[in-house]
Structure formats: structure tokens, C-alpha cells
Amino acid sequence: MADTVSLVAAPLVEGIIKIAFSLIKEEYSLLHGVKEDVEKLVSNLTAIKGVLQDAEKKQQSQPQLKDWLRKLQEAAFDAEDILDTFATEANIWKERKKVRNGKFKTPLSTLPHKHDAALKIKDISRRLDIIAKENKNFHLRDQVDVGRREIPNDLGFHVNQSDIFGREDDKESIVHMLLSNEFDREGDVSVIPIIGMGGLGKTTLAQVVFNDERVKGHFESRMWVCVTVQFELTRILKEMIQFHSKMAFSDSSTSHLQSRLQHFLTGQRFLLVLDDIWTEDYRKWDSLKDLLKKGAMGSRVLVTSRITKVKDTIGTQPPHSLGYLPEDECWSLFSSMVFSSNSVSGEMREYLDPIGREIVRRCKGLPLAVKAIGGLLRGQTENINKWSQIQKSEIWEIEEQYSQIGKLNILGILKLSFDHLPSYLKPCFAYCSIFPKEYVFDKKELIKYWMAQGLIQSRGRETMEETAISYFDELLVRSFFQLSNVDNKDICSMHDLIHDLAVSISNPSCCLVDDNATCSLSVSRHVSLLGKDVEKPMLKIVADAAKLRSLLLPTDYLKNFSYQALDKVFHTLKYLRMLDLSSSTISELPNSIEELKLLRYLDLSRTEIKALPNSICNLYNLQTLKLLACLSLSELPKDLGNLVNLRHLEVNSMFWFKLSMLPPRMGNLTNLQNLPAFRVGDRDGFRIGELKNMEHLSGTLHISKLENAINAGEASLNDKKNLHKLVLEWSEGIFNVQDEAAETRVLEDLQPHPNLKELQIFGFRGNEFPGWMRTLTSLKLLSIRNCPLLNTLNEELPSTLECLTIGSCPRLQSLGPKEVLMSLNSLKDLYIEDCPMIQSLPEDGLPSCLQHLKVQACPLLAERCRKEDWAKIAHIPDLEIDPSSVSTSSTLTAANPPPPWYRHFLCCKG
């Protein structure tokens, strides 16, 4: 496929126009002297944006147009860097003025670097003016971006892996080889290779076999490892152990890994899938094979590879060769994707079928190509023009030329699918090229990378994350991503041919550096050193790539990364949006990190960092700060509240509980989505009202020291619809001057949103619960502990409740009126612990759905369960009643057998 400049510039241009408009609208004095240049810049970019689609189509036949597009993309990147920096300075000034109640004395027009920025704006405006004038030489047409549309509603559709079109016989043949003892080898392990060219569906076939119920039942252990070009024994061993144990394993010593794996495999009949092997070096294979011999007879290794010689290197059985998919099966695959909604009229189907069959024929039996085109046309059954465009595309003429010399122009076919992506998806896909082949993407992390680069613009009331997830899902359903062979549906990878496409599209903006890299660092915006065998010095890369926006570094590269090197990076790479320093040995950050004014993503996880410099709080644009497994970190910087755009603050859960106090003014972080713990203080900046505007909080929120809460309603918990777990805690043994009514009002004012799934209440000093309990219609788990004045469950509980725990309530005498518990028709588990005053169960007993009852340190209740209340609990399958709570004076003999409940007491005691 000929090198092209893709239309990833369109969203970039739109983003620049948006930034410029916001600057003009605010009428900042910072624009004094350059406002006309900014307005001219907007005018030129608006004119250029309209012809970009036509320019991309014509660039193959007009080399000069391709050069024009490259100049435009470079100028657009530079313009965004300059305007983004400009806007950041202005926004920081506004925030400081707000904090000082409008009394900030420094005029906006005298901010540092203003003169330098003004010169850069004038220069970029001139460059774009020249580019806009050159546009007239190409006679480009102004076109609407037909790719931009609403994401279809049926994104949940995926071709079921059990419907492996045309591969049923292949599947059955391989399953037979796995299960039949005729392929057993004494003292050795049987290896079955699946061989075929890229895009034929080898991995999909192996996945379907791997998840077949017969295979699951036959093997005691199943493991899956994606090998790729580099056959790295240590990584393979580690992934095998992790797959077997379902736990992360950090040990990197080969000898330890071999010992651990040998322990797992000895005597077990296992299945190991080694996906995408490229090595022909039998010595590398032998080092693994010796370990695999420890397994039981009947163990199997299933290998996928496109290298025919692999069968001679590692195969012990004849290879299963995968050929092209028959045309009728390709049509079945295509139809299942395109016509899945069953809403196509007979007349329309009659019109589209011949076009579709012609398109499928031209895919030459390659499932990956069929899926790519099928994903493109899915949801387009009413768009006849789109079908005709695909059918008549010049890519098929190029394909015929390739076919005449015995080759398949698969990248050309895949490029056709890319060309018809909505413009907002193109840069997101292209960005993925900075990751190595077979890289495993975590959806939640990838969308943070996209957000950091400004590739996501939220729509309507959607959050940026919600929009980004919809982008990801659309790329997935269009087969630009593929689900990995793990249970987590958020984990995906990219077929290596799709990765080749991403590289060809993104060059030179994105560069995956290795010793064979051909990209130019001086114009690269995103650089990754995650490739293999990188020897180029870090500071040399920094010096050559001063315009970088992303920098991804491997662990080995970071081991000796010095403070001085970091300082050099921070002073040089001023346009960085994303920086990952995780797993490095750094113990402190230079104050110069504040130079990275555009930084939006910073990962310091698994470092030896002890404290963050307060200058990090000047990173106005920071969206994600990751501090996971920073074991030496003991506090957060005092001005963290300045990071008003922070959305994700990721720290291990234990850190929040060893932290003596959060920084003040956390309430400024109105975009923050996770705050696991909040301690209520009695001073400004620490009060419960800090939670008021943090409406995007999600997951778990633990509010402690509620004895300091006065106006608890200011927390506005009812507005926090994304919280799933809420813990409300009063400090044990600390009583303030508030009376019981005041305590009850505090809890009343802390009413959560009905979406809440788990509620825990600790140390509440009121004597009754508020009426909002019954409104929590999604609640599954309720825990009430250490409530010294509570005497009854007076309020109706939500019927959705599945687990109820009541503990350490010394005055609790009853579980409330009979209807309180009997209305819980979903209740499965009931725990009553250390409530010595409870005398009996409710009059009508317990719900029939209850599966587990535990009574501990409740002597009066336990005695009742032994006698009068036995009939109320006899139906419960699992009973745990603490026998130490029951006094038994009678002697058990044959004439005086134990009562039915006695066996439960013995089980519990044992």
C-alpha cells in the first residue's frame, strides 16, 4: 500500500478552532496584539477543514497534494501546542484570581512568556495563511465529512465465536487431536500446530477450541500465552503461571519461574496454547519443552503460526493447515455482521445482496478482510451510496493487480475500511500504533491515553469517559480491535495486520522506536520505546524530539533514570501530554515538572517516590495521576486542590487509610471520579461541604469522622449517582455535644442516590434510622455496626437487599416489626453478631429465601433458636449459631438425643 497522509488532521483542526474560539470569546487581554492573527488562523483552518476529505482521496494521484497535507498536519500540531499553552496560561490566571476573590494583582497581559507566545502565534498564522493559499492550486471540493455520524445503537453485537463460519470441520479435527489418546506420547508432550497466513482466523479458531466444553472438561489446567516475534522464555513462563493461578506474579527470575511452573504442572493434564509463534530456533523451544514434560500423559500444546517451518521446529503431530475461507462461508460471515438486525426489507435486501456478494468475492477468502468490510457496512443498510462507494473503490483495481502476481493486498482492503471510519475515530485508531504488536490493551487505560491527547470530545451530557468508551466499542465492533482470550471483556489486542495498517497511517506522527525505526524523531509527536532492542540514549531521543506529546518507556530503560535526566526531560519536552514513569527507580521528582503545562496523564506507579513536589499542583491540565504501589509515599501535596481538571487519582486503597488527612480544598476537584476516603474536618477546606460539587465520584466512598459534620446535607450524596458503595463512619468512643436528634439529622442529611448497591454504617449514635433507607432500590448489601444507642430496626428496608449484617449494637432489642425482615424477598445472608439484648426473631420468622444465618455472641437469641424459635429457622440450609452463647444443662444420651439444631452448633464450633 502506498504511503498516504490520513485524514486524522480533521479532528485536530476542529480542536484548534475550538481552542481559538474560546480565547476570542473570553476577550483575554493576553490576546492583545495577536487577536487578528488568531482570527485569521481560525478563518484559514475553517476553509481548509472543508476540503480535507477530498484532499485525502486525491493524494495518491497527486504527490504535491500529499506534501501539502503533511505541511498542514505539521502546522496544525504546532498551532495546537501554541494555542493550548496560551489558553492554559489564561486559565491558570483565572483560577488564581478566583481563589483570591478577584484581588489577583498580576495583569493577564504581563504573564511570563507572553511575548514569546505572541511571536509563535504570528508565525503559525503566517504558515497557515500560505498553506490555505496553496490549497487553491489543487482545485479541491468542499465536502461534508460523510464519515461523521452518530454511533449505531447495536454496538453490543459481536460475531459469536461459536459461529466460526466454515471452520466447523477444522474445529472438530483439532478437538479430536486434543482429546484422543492416540496422540499421547510417552515421556513427551504432544504439540499440534495450526499453520496459515495472517488474517485467516488461526487465533479465533484456537480460542473456540480452547473454550469448547469438551476441552474444558478434559484438561485439569488450561493456559494461553501470546508469544509474538520474540520468544521470551521468562515472559512465557510468567504468563503461564499467572493464567494457571489467576494471580499476578512479579518474580522475574527464570529459575524461580521454572520451579514454580514445574510444581503447577507435575502430574496435571494440561492444555497450553502458544499463539502466534514466529521463532524457528529449536533451542528456545527445547528450554520450554523440558518443563512441559512434567505434565501428565495426555497433555497437549496447541500452537498457531504463519511460519511453515515452525511445524518442523516444535510440532510432534502433523500440522493443521488453515486455508482461505470458501466464498459462501465468507458471505455467511459478512451477512451475520451486516444484516444482523433483521430490519432490512426484502426489496432492499434484494438490491444489496449482489453488491455485497461482489465485495465479499474481492476479499479473496480472508476472514479478517471480510470482517473489516462487514464492520464498515454494519448499520448502513439504508445507505445505498455507501455500498456503491465501497463496491467501486479503486482499491479493488489495485487488488486485481496484486492477485495477478499471486499476492493479496490485505492492507489495501483494510485501508478501505479505515477510510470510511467517522473522522473522530481515525486519530484514536492511529494513536494505537505506538504500542508494539500483540500489545494487550486495557480499555480503561487506553481511553485515558486518548483523553490526554485531546482526541475525545464529550457529546451532550456524556462524560468524556463515556464518549471514549463508545469510540472504543465502535472500533471493536468494526474489528480494529479483537477480544483477547481472557474473561475480562475490557482487555483487547490488535491483529498484527491491523497494527501494520495503524503504523502506515500514523507515520511520522507516531513512532515505535527500535533499531530499525525509519520515522523521523524531529517531527514525531508520539514516541514509544516499548519495542525490542532499543539502544539509542534517552537524552538523545529527547534532544531530537522536542515536540513530543507522548513518551512511553520500558521498565529496563527506566532502571537507571536519574534525577538530572528527568530535569532535562521536563525542561525540553514542554508539549508532553502523557508521561509514563512507572516501575522506574526514581525517588523524587524535580520541581521543574511544572514546566509540563500541557501534561494530562502522569503515571508514577511502582516507583520509590517518597513525596510529590508541590509544584506538581501547577499542572492545570492534569487529568490522570497514577500512584499505585508507591510504598514509600505517605502524603499528597498540600495544593492538590489546584488540579481542577483532575479526573482520576489512582492510589492503593491502604494509602487512604494511613493518610492522616487529605489536602485542603479537595472540593475544587469537581471532575474527580474516584475518592475512596474522605475524613471530615472542623476547619475550612476540610469540612463535609467539600464533597458538594464532586458529583462525578464513582465506586467506593468512605466518609469518616462524621462527628465533625454539622451541615451534612452539604455533601449532596443524593447527586452522586455513580457511587456503588458508601461507608459512613463516626469515630469509636468519641462523643461530641450533639444530642441523639442531631445525630439522627446528620444521617438523615446523608441520603445517598438510589443507585447505591452497598451501604455500611459504623458508629452511628442516633437511636433510629432515617426513612430514606426504603428508597435505596438498588441496594444489595447493608451493614450496621457499632451503633451504641440503636434499639430497633424501625424502618422498612429495600426488598432488593441480599445480605444484612448487624453487629456490636448493645441496646438493640429487636429486629423491628415483622414486616421489616419478611418483606426482604431477595435476602440470602443474615449475620447477627454481638447484640446481647436481642431476645428473639420476628414473630413471623425469617424470609423463606434465606440461605445463611449466623448468630454469634447473642446469648438470648441463641437460646431462643435452640427452643422456641427453632421452627422459624429450620428451613435455612446453612446455619452458624455460636454454641458458646447457649447454656446446655441436659445430658445427651440415647434416650435423650440431641435436638436438630445441635449439629449446627457442633459444625460451627468445629
Contact 183, 317 (CB under 8 A): yes
pLDDT at site 737? 46
Q: Is the pLDDT of residue 656 over 90?
A: no
Work out the average pLDDT over 759-776. Answer: 92
DSSP string over 622-668: --EEE-TT-TT-----TTGGG-TT--EEE--HHHHHH-S-PPS-GGG
pLDDT at site 148? 40
Please tell me what DSSP assigns to residue 224: E
pLDDT at site 685? 94
Work out the average pLDDT over 209-226. Answer: 92
pLDDT in tens, 314-370: 767 888 888 888 999 899 899 888 887 666 777 888 888 988 898 888 887 888 888
pLDDT at site 338? 87
**Grid cell for residue 278:** 514466529
E-assigned strand segments in 417-462:
441-442
Contact 390, 373 (CB under 8 A): yes
| Phi and psi at residue 108, to the nearest 5° | -60, -35
pLDDT at site 26? 67
List of long-range contacts for 676-684, beta carbons under 8 Å, 24+ apart: 676/700, 676/701, 676/702, 677/701, 677/702, 677/703, 677/704, 678/702, 678/703, 678/704, 679/704, 679/705, 680/704, 680/705, 680/706, 680/707, 680/708, 680/709, 681/705, 681/708, 682/708
pLDDT in tens, 663-720: 999 999 999 999 999 999 999 999 999 999 999 999 999 999 999 998 999 999 999 9
Residues contacting 876, CB < 8 A, separation 6+: 846, 850, 851, 852, 853
pLDDT at site 893? 40
Q: Is the pLDDT of residue 756 over 70?
A: yes
Q: Is the pLDDT of residue 213 over 80?
A: yes
423-506 classified as CATH 2.60.40: no
**Grid cell for residue 270:** 494440561
Altogether, the residues listed in the chain come to a count of 910
Q: Is the pLDDT of residue 151 over 50?
A: no
pLDDT at site 158? 42
pLDDT at site 897? 44
Residues contacting 562, CB < 8 A, separation 6+: none
Beta-bridged to residue 365, according to DSSP, are none
Q: Compare 94 and 441 and report the one with higher pLDDT.
A: 441
Confidence label for 902 from pLDDT (cuts 50, 70 and 90): very low
Contact 588, 567 (CB under 8 A): no
Q: Is the pLDDT of residue 652 over 70?
A: yes
pLDDT at site 630? 93
Please tell me the distance from the alpha carbon of residue 476 to that of residue 517, in angstroms, as a whole number: 28
Confidence label for 385 from pLDDT (cuts 50, 70 and 90): confident
Look up cell 473570553; give the residue: 26
Tell me which amino acid residue 593 is. I
pLDDT at site 891? 39
Q: Is the pLDDT of residue 725 over 90?
A: yes
Q: Compare 889 and 591 and report the one with higher pLDDT.
A: 591
**Whose CA is closest to 263, among 236, 225, 237, 230?**
237
Please tell me the distance from the alpha carbon of residue 672 to that of residue 659, in angstroms, as a whole number: 19
Residues contacting 22, CB < 8 A, separation 6+: 87
Q: Compare 726 and 537 and report the one with higher pLDDT.
A: 726
**Whose CA is closest to 52, among 125, 138, 129, 180?**
138
508-659: CATH class = alpha beta
Please tell me the distance from the alpha carbon of residue 625 to that of residue 606, in angstroms, as a whole number: 13
Beta-bridged to residue 113, according to DSSP, are none
Please tell me the distance from the alpha carbon of residue 361 to that of residue 331, in angstroms, as a whole number: 8
**Whose CA is closest to 821, among 782, 763, 857?**
782
For residue 227, the tally of other CB atoms under 10 A from its CB is 21
**Grid cell for residue 726:** 458508601
Please tell me the distance from the alpha carbon of residue 10 to that of residue 69, in angstroms, as a whole number: 11
pLDDT at site 3? 55
What does the mean pLDDT of the chain come to? 83
Sign of the CA dihedral with 178 first, then 183, 187, and 188 last: negative
pTM score, two decimals?
Answer: 0.79
Please tell me the distance from the alpha carbon of residue 168 to that of residue 864, in angstroms, as a whole number: 63
pLDDT at site 599? 98
pLDDT at site 130? 92
Please tell me the distance from the alpha carbon of residue 463 to that of residue 546, in angstroms, as a whole number: 32
Q: Compare 155 and 590 and report the one with higher pLDDT.
A: 590
According to CATH, the superfamily of the domain at 168-321 is P-loop containing nucleotide triphosphate hydrolases (3.40.50.300)
**Grid cell for residue 891:** 445430658
For residue 153, the tally of other CB atoms under 10 A from its CB is 9
The pLDDT > 90 percentage for the chain reads 36
**Grid cell for residue 420:** 470510511
Work out the average pLDDT over 51-73. Answer: 82
**Whose CA is closest to 79, among 12, 31, 23?**
12
- The 3 state secondary structure assigned to 343-370 is CCCHHHHHHHHHHHHHHHHHCCCCHHHH
pLDDT at site 231? 79
Select, from the ranges 203-207, 335-339, 694-698, 763-767, the one with the highest average predicted confidence (pLDDT): 694-698
The pLDDT > 70 percentage for the chain reads 84
Confidence label for 395 from pLDDT (cuts 50, 70 and 90): low
pLDDT at site 309? 74
Largest CA distance in the chain: 110
Q: Is the pLDDT of residue 454 over 80?
A: yes
pLDDT at site 51? 84
pLDDT at site 425? 92
Q: Is the pLDDT of residue 479 over 70?
A: yes
Look up cell 438470648; give the residue: 860
pLDDT in tens, 597-649: 999 999 999 999 999 999 999 999 999 999 999 999 989 999 999 999 999 99
pLDDT at site 399? 53
Q: Is the pLDDT of residue 393 over 50?
A: yes
Please tell me the distance from the alpha carbon of residue 10 to that of residue 788, in angstroms, as a whole number: 64
pLDDT at site 149? 39
pLDDT at site 465? 95
pLDDT at site 681? 94
pLDDT at site 301? 93
Q: In what order do the strands lie in the sheet with 526-528?
A: 510-512, 526-528, 550-552, 578-580, 601-603, 624-626, 648-650
Q: Is the pLDDT of residue 159 over 70?
A: no
pLDDT in tens, 95-145: 777 666 555 455 555 555 566 777 888 899 899 999 988 888 888 887 655
Does residue 312 sit in helix, strand or coil? helix
Contact 17, 45 (CB under 8 A): yes
Work out the average pLDDT over 380-403. Answer: 70
Confidence label for 89 from pLDDT (cuts 50, 70 and 90): confident
Please tell me the distance from the alpha carbon of residue 352 to that of residue 357, in angstroms, as a whole number: 9
